[in-house]
Structure 1
Amino acid sequence: MKTPEQWIKVCPSDALIDRRHIIKEVLYDNQPESIIICRFEGQCYAYINRCVHMPKRLNCEHDIIFDLSGKFLRCSMHGIIYTPDTGTSQSTMCNGEQLKAVKVTEKEGMIYLNDKHIHELTK
């Protein structure tokens, strides 16, 4: 488990409003990955930004990840939808499959990624 000093800072808490997202590029198991951090019903959730149907980013065609109802995450390529709090697909084609969750913490007005698999992407 990472110590708070090792957590990766995402943004101030008030920068991520409900039903919105932020993308953070990181190394996940030493491979470059895009992480989606979203807020839904006041809670923060984070997932590797990859649809279970095809290995495309959820926001590959449009930089919107919530559907029009604001109740589901949605892949912009094929419309596969996921529950924001579990990452579970609700679409017939991929029903029950899940986005890969990433540990996220909100503490003292900041949002952090604190997953042991993630490291800061150095440029």
Structure 2
Amino acid sequence: MILLCRPDELAEGQSRGFDVDGLKLMLVRRHGQVHAYENRCPHRGIPLEWVPDQFLDHSGSLIQCAAHGALFLIESGECVTGPCVGDVLQPLDCREDAEGIWLLREA
């Protein structure tokens, strides 16, 4: 397990990006649950954000690709509008406890 951040470092409705040994990933907290995805748009394979830690649309209810505006559901990573409709962000296994938010990786 790899510690990404403390629980209080990812507030409700916020997103954060991380680079773990070359793996770019993002976390979003919605309705108290943490969702983790690879920071890679399925349309072009590029990072989703232009500004660090800004992965959400203006409403804060969808993940947005800054390059071409594709929108993804936070809970499932499914693209609901844009050039990659029906594709999904690559989910990553993470766990949260009192100590932190952890990326679960195979050894």
Residue matched to 1:75: 65
Q: Counterparts of 1:95 and 1:24 in 2: how far apart (Å)?
A: 25
1:10 and 2:4 correspond: yes
Structure-2-length-normalised TM-score? 0.90
Aligned residues: CA RMSD: 1.5
SS in 1 for 2:5: strand
Greater CA radius of gyration, 1 or 2? 1
SS in 2 for 1:14: helix
Equivalent residues, number:
106
SS in 2 for 1:25: strand
1:33 is matched by which residue type in structure 2? Answer: L
SS in 2 for 1:22: strand
1:26 and 2:20 correspond: yes
1:62 and 2:41 correspond: no
**Is 1:58–1:77's contact at 8 Å kept on the other side of the alignment?**
yes
Unpaired runs of 5+ residues, structure 2, are none
Q: Counterparts of 1:69 and 1:23 in 2: how far apart (Å)?
A: 19
Structure-1-length-normalised TM-score? 0.79
Over 3 Å off, 4+ runs: none
Residue matched to 2:27: 37
Unpaired runs of 5+ residues, structure 1, are 1-6
Shift of 1:19: 2.0
